Structures are given as C-alpha cells and as structure tokens.
Chain A
C-alpha cells in the first residue's frame, strides 16, 4: 500500500492504494469519478483518457503512483459550473456521441489535440490524431465535425480571456 497525493479537478487528495492500482482505478473506484471509462485494457481505445499536468494520458496504462504529485483533470472537471467546455458543447451540438461510452476519452483527447495544434486543424489532421480513440457508434463523421467546430470556439474563448 502507498499513499498517492495528487490534485484531481483542482482538489488536493491523498489516497491509500495497493501499489498495483492503475490511475483509472484510483479515479473510478476510490474517488467515484466514473466518467473515465475502461474499454480495452490494452491502451488502444482511449475511453480512459484524462489530462495529467495538461497533457492527455491513458489512465488505464499508468499506475496511480506515477501520478503522485501531478495535477489530473477528468471529464468531470472541464466545465465551469453549468457552462460547458467548448469541446463538450461542440460534441452535443454536432451529435458527436451516441452511446456516450467513448465520449469522455474523446473529449479529453480532442482538447489536447486542439491545444497542441494551437487550434490550426483540418479534417485529415483530426482523423490522424484521433488514432488512439475508438468509437463504435458514430463512424467518427460527427466527432471530426465537433473537434473542428470546437477548435474554432476555443480560439474565440481564448481570445476573449
């Protein structure tokens, strides 16, 4: 057992976990943040993507202990109260989700993509960058639309800040 100290969605937490505990298990089982999902166990599907210190990581593929001292943001932590993150709003407005299971990981990956490209995205780049996130429902068509839409919205909201 070890105590892992980290910041999750802005709150400092200390959690006693078995050393073999995965980050996703800490989030889901210990902190009840069940928005982060497990879809494949092999780091392929991306349903488990969260942000660690601002960068997208697959939380099923790292130990909780590796996040000691880090700042983690999950799908539950990106809206400002009732105001959705532009990526969340874009997924809704473009019908970028159906069953919703891959959606949290998609949104977290997509935010990271927009940040890395400074919002300068085209369809081919978005499709290439989403290689690590699998969706079985949408055929990706509307997810790609949503990410491109959100890239524009995030630029506008950054400019306003």
Chain B
C-alpha cells in the first residue's frame, strides 16, 4: 500500500470546494434569460380536476406562462414508467395506473402537480401561483394499506382493481408448510416497517435549457444517474433523442436513493423550456421534498419461523403488504420483491422459505428505493424474529444466531441468492468483544440501582450489493442491465483522467477512484482527475445506488486501467529495447525487471502521442475503456450491537454504546468507509427512534417539514465504535463488497432489540418515541 494507494486513509480531494463554499449544486447555476417555475400542487389526496383558471395569473407582472396537465398530455410527453416488471402468482403482469407528469384529470396524492407557473423570478412565480384557481371535486381517499385492500375502499386506478399492484410469491410453499408441520416450536411476529422521507439535505432541482436552432436540450439536475435519466427522458418521455439531450448532474447534495428516479419536475422543466423558448429553473423547497421525493419502506408484515428441538430453524413464512403510494415509481416494484424477499434467509441456514408480497396503491406519495431498499425491511424482520425466538425459546440471542449461522460457502439460499463468502461468527465475535457483552449483566444491575432500564440488542445483517449481474436481473424483470463503464484517458504529459459512469453525491469517488490509479501506477493522486456526471463527457454508465460504485464502477476502472497499462508496457518495452513481459510498473516508472533500465510514465505517455517511435502497427494515443458486468451480487454482512438505557419515567432512550463489526471485503479508503457506516447507522437509528412519514386517514401528510418530521440531530445519536472483519469478495478482482447501505440496513433492529430487552416487552413498533415506549412499559 502506497501513501495514496488502496487501503490508505487519504483526505478527500473534493473537500476543498465544499469547505470553502465553492461547491456547484444545481441551484447555484444561473443561465442567461433564465425563468423560474413554481408548481401548483393538489391540496387533496384524491380529487377530480374540474377546471383551471389562470386568467388572473397571466395578467400579473413577470408571468411568462401557466401550463397545465392537459397541455403536457396533448403534447404527447409520455407517462412516468416503472422499469422492473413483476409478475403476480397467477401469472398476470403488475397493474400500472397511468402517471402523467402533471395531472390532467385526477390527482391521487397531496402534492401532485396539476399546473406550473413560469415567471421572471421565483417570487413572481409564487405570487402568480396564488392567483391560479383550480376547481377540484374531492373524492374519497385511502392512505393505509389494510384499509386500501378492504372491499368498498376508494379505488385509485381503473387498471388496478382492489388497489392491488401485484400479489407475488417466492420460495417453496409446500416444503415450508411441511417444515412447519414438523416444527418443535413456532415463533410469530407482526412488524410494521415505518414509512420514511429520505431528506437529502439538498432539495431536488432542475434547470432545462432548450436550444431551438440545434433542437437540443441541456438539463442540469440533482441525479444519481444522469445517463439513466437521459435514457428514460428520451426513450419513454419523448423529450428528445438521446444525442439531442445532455444531462448534467453537478455536485449533488446527497441522494440515498431518492435522486435515482426521474421525476415529473424534470420532465416539465424540459417541456416548458421549449414551450417558452427560455431556460426554466425549478428548485424544490423542503415541503415539496416531503410531498414529492419518493418515500421509503412502509411494509406491514406477518412472519412465522419454525424451529426443531435443537433450536435449528427449519422454515420461514412471510406475508408482507407493501404500500406503493399513488403511483409506481421508477424502480419501486423491485424493492419489496427482489431486493427484499431474496434476503429473507439473513445470515442463517433456513431450508425452506416462502414469502408472499402484496403491493398496494394508496393516496400517498409514491414509495421507492431509499438507502438499503428492501434489504433493511428484510434484515429488520429477520433480526426481530431471531430476538423474539431467543426470548421465547429462552436461549441467549447470540447463541441462537450461532446455532443457525451459515458457515459453508458458497451457500445457496431458498430465495435465489447464492452467498459467495463470509464469516458471520467473526463479526459477531468482534462486536461482542467490543461491547463487553459478557459484562452486560453487571452493568444492567448497576443501572437498575440508578432507576434506569438498561438493554442490549444485536442485529446480524446481510445484504446484497454490487448491483448487479445484468443477465440475472434481466431474467427477473429488470428493464436495464446493471453493469458499469469506465474510460482511462492518459494525456500526452502523463496526467490521467478517469471517466466513470458512477456518480458521486457524497461518497468521495474523486478520491477513492484516484487511489486505485495511484496503487497501480505509483503516481500521486494529484496527477489524476475523476470525471463524472455529464452525459456529453462520459460514456453511457448506470450511476450510483445499491452500494455498487466500488464493487462494479471501480472494477470497470480497473479493467480499463489494465488495457491502458498493457499498451503502455508495449510502448515502454519498445523504447527500452526489452521484452514486454519483462516490464514492471513501480513508483511511476516502467522498468525492465532486474535492471536499472526504466522510463518514466509521462515519457511513455508522450511517446504514445508523438507517435515517432511506436511498435510497428500500433495506433497512437493512450486511452482505453471498459464495461464491467458483475458475475454475482456481493454480500456485505456484519453485526451491530447497541447498549442503551430507558428512563421508565419518561420513556426516553439514551445510548450507552453502539458497536459495529462489518465485513465489506477490501477497503479502498477506510476513512471514507467509516463515514459511510456512521451515516448509515444514524439513518437506521433515525428510523428506529424518530422518523415517521405520517398520513391521516384522509391522506393528508402530517409530517411535511422539519418542524414535524423528526430528523436525527447530533444530540440524538452516539459516537460509534467500528471495526472490520474481512473476507474478500471472490466475485470481483479487487475483493470489494460495498459499504454504503449497511448501517441503514442493520441498525434499526439492534436498537429495537435493545429497547425491548430493556423494558422486558417484545412488541414495540418503530419509531420508538418516548411516548410509545412509555405506553408500552406501562401497558397492562
């Protein structure tokens, strides 16, 4: 490992611009002649749009246009799509209700846009929006999944009778029933996985700029995957052919999944820019983010686990109702199916699993992938079940887990996934040691003497990352391949540009990706720059989500580097009059092994571009590209243990200690990996203790600002004690598994297991607010 190579704690190259206020986010960009958009959004959860009167608004100062849903439909802008086809157990395709970018006839959630005002300034657009009169005819609405599937419930879409999107199954029902018939013990649990608002700190924004002479659009947008955005806008929404649409995602202020999707606002901004002949900018405010950014989670589940007389798990049955909100967002269909039920085996040998997932429409904001996307729901369910089982079977929770750990790899689960490697005992051992698990009973007794209820809870999570082998996901219904691309451009003076289809919105790619180059060539990272986020600069790539950018994106860079190095070695060998096979790369030089003959890398680069003396038949230049398609998912896993105290008088939870032992395979930059874990853990803790996107029975959102939705703040959470146990991933040459979502996947179960341990009652839903904990303690 060099000082800047793989495994080094290199401070981030990108930080200087962020700490000096020079970051460039979408809202920081101004274009000549730019107008400003303000959307008129439904205040009703379900209503007919009977008419829109914009005559008064159009007379107001600075108003350029008021455009409506009917006009965007008339102009044949396509309806929003869902890119993963799921088939119900009866063989029928999922039921898709039409989702126009602005509603011409019917609104189905509070915040759905019906029209947009375009004006000279943001304030003038807001003023004019107040003067647009929309005549609604309210319809009955439904926000809760159980209410939505009852007969007689308000119906959202004619295409989806009973508000059902699909009824999907996985696993072997007969084998699972047989396991339950023979079970010595059965453990049952009902859990709700609370709806969350992703809340990246930068609200979504878009600037669209149409050039009528070139018939060309440029879109600046807050996207995690600008090429996917361009593809969808072009192929499905009829905005422009791909070569006439440039999508730029500059600095993006957090995503957590919510900026994967292509939203109505980008579509409208592009369409409106052509309509008004000027650039159109839209920047959402926080309440718009709560109303329109795809939410996460929102599952209601009943599960049963069968055990034999030796406490070995013999079967698992799961039935989940997933609330999709009012429309199917871009990847929503895959989240409670292939990203959830395929992880229901957890870290355990479970011979038979059967899961059924019913997707349900409700009059709420659409739900899609949010940090972890299906895997937190699976991990939470399994780890709550294991804790419940340990309590019911009266065994130590760690011992019950060890009894059932998978220890032989590869391991084929009954739910598609084939785990490639891991050492679950190692991470459990590390976490138990770090928190002094053996000493807990003494600490609990001491806390009791102080009037506090102390609890300890663990969560042994596994997830599937490195998304994903294209052929495999294609066979499961995905509409896209999930490879990644890279291009390595060596300049004539030997500096290097790496163009990647991955996108960084906080992950630090501009540093970690350079570390790979430094590792291979021995050049300082200051000589390398990472180019991403612009479809005019970078070859098609799939973007960043699902903890894929190191395992897939960095591997693509490795493949391109290998090609470039191979050509560079031929040039060096020719210059040094040596055999190509004898050339080694060390400290920025190409050397003839075992001699003092060497040529510096910049001289190799220069030779490639002067082309005065290249091997016969070699093309000039030094630039190579690669597309890498993974062969399997990767399987990060680990154990989180949380120790906390509950004040029985108030129900308030205080953390005592929180330890994490993760196996992410090889780490490129441990400092950045730790940062990813910290942030993920707090999102998991936030779900467990604070966060809940709440709707009342009529579909009105109750939590649509930071005044009402409890975001984790610095004094709500502890500092963390992290460690790593490593098994290298055999599926990619760097041995990387991915680290971006683990914290959010594993933390919530550890917290709820610890609180329920402290209070001695097992049934407690998230978020475990003081009020809810107090009521649970004092319930009869």
Binding site for B on A (CB under 8 A): 18, 20, 28, 32-42, 44-45, 47, 74-76, 79, 84, 88, 91-93, 95, 97-104, 107, 123-124, 126-128, 130-131, 133-144
Residues of A within 8 A of B705 (CB): 40-42, 44
Known: A98-B675, A130-B714, A142-B675. A137 touches B506 (CB 8 A): yes
- Complex Cα distance A141/B673, Å? 13
- Complex Cα distance A36/B25, Å? 11
Nearest CB on A from B259, distance (A): 11
CB of A99 within 8 A of CB of B22, answer no
CB of B20 within 8 A of CB of A131, answer no
Known: A137-B254, A139-B681. A95 touches B506 (CB 8 A): no
How many residue pairs at the A-B interface have CB separations less than 8 Å? 177
Measured CB to CB, the nearest residue on chain A to B25 is A101
CB of B16 within 8 A of CB of A100, answer no
Q: Is B15 an interface residue (CB 8 A)?
A: yes
CB of B20 within 8 A of CB of A76, answer yes
CB of A91 within 8 A of CB of B285, answer no
Residues of A within 8 A of B286 (CB): 39-42, 45
Known: A39-B202, A92-B12, A98-B506. A136 touches B711 (CB 8 A): yes
Q: Apart from A35-B22, A130-B715, what are 16 other A-B pairs with CB-CB below 8 Å?
A: A28-B28, A34-B24, A38-B203, A39-B203, A41-B286, A92-B15, A100-B15, A101-B202, A103-B18, A107-B19, A130-B713, A134-B201, A138-B678, A139-B682, A139-B717, A144-B719
Pick the contact of B713: A37, A75, A134 (CB < 8 A). A134
Nearest CB on A from B558, distance (A): 24
- How many residues of chain B get a CB closer than 8 Å to chain A's CBs? 57
Which residues of chain B from 720 to 774 have any CB-CB distance to chain A below 8 Å in the complex? 720, 743
CB of B15 within 8 A of CB of A18, answer no
CB of A34 within 8 A of CB of B508, answer no
CB of B254 within 8 A of CB of A139, answer no
Known: A20-B123, A88-B20. A140 touches B714 (CB 8 A): yes
CB of A137 within 8 A of CB of B12, answer no
Q: Is B109 an interface residue (CB 8 A)?
A: no
CB of B680 within 8 A of CB of A139, answer yes
Q: Which 5 A-B pairs have the closest CB atoms?
A: A35-B21, A100-B18, A101-B253, A99-B506, A139-B682
Pick the contact of B15: A40, A91, A101 (CB < 8 A). A91
Residues of B within 8 A of A101 (CB): 23, 25, 200-202, 253-254
Known: A99-B200, A136-B201, A142-B675. A40 touches B252 (CB 8 A): no
Measured CB to CB, the nearest residue on chain A to B678 is A139
Q: Is B589 an interface residue (CB 8 A)?
A: no
- Complex Cα distance A134/B712, Å? 8
Pick the contact of A100: B123, B199, B253, B719 (CB < 8 A). B253
CB of A138 within 8 A of CB of B679, answer yes
What are 24 A-B pairs with beta-carbon distances under 8 A?
Answer: A18-B123, A34-B25, A35-B21, A39-B286, A40-B706, A41-B287, A42-B706, A44-B711, A45-B706, A76-B22, A84-B19, A84-B20, A88-B19, A91-B19, A99-B202, A99-B253, A100-B14, A101-B254, A104-B19, A131-B714, A137-B201, A138-B675, A141-B678, A142-B674
Which residues of chain B from 227 to 285 have any CB-CB distance to chain A below 8 Å in the complex? 251-254, 256, 285
Residues of B within 8 A of A124 (CB): 715
Q: Is B11 an interface residue (CB 8 A)?
A: yes
CB of A92 within 8 A of CB of B16, answer yes
Nearest CB on B from A102, distance (A): 5
Pick the contact of A135: B201, B203, B672 (CB < 8 A). B201
CB of B679 within 8 A of CB of A136, answer yes
Most chain A CB neighbours (cut-off 10 Å) among B16, B22, B201, B711: B201
- Complex Cα distance A95/B506, Å? 11
CB of A141 within 8 A of CB of B18, answer no
Which residues of chain B from 642 to 689 have any CB-CB distance to chain A below 8 Å in the complex? 671-672, 674-675, 678-683
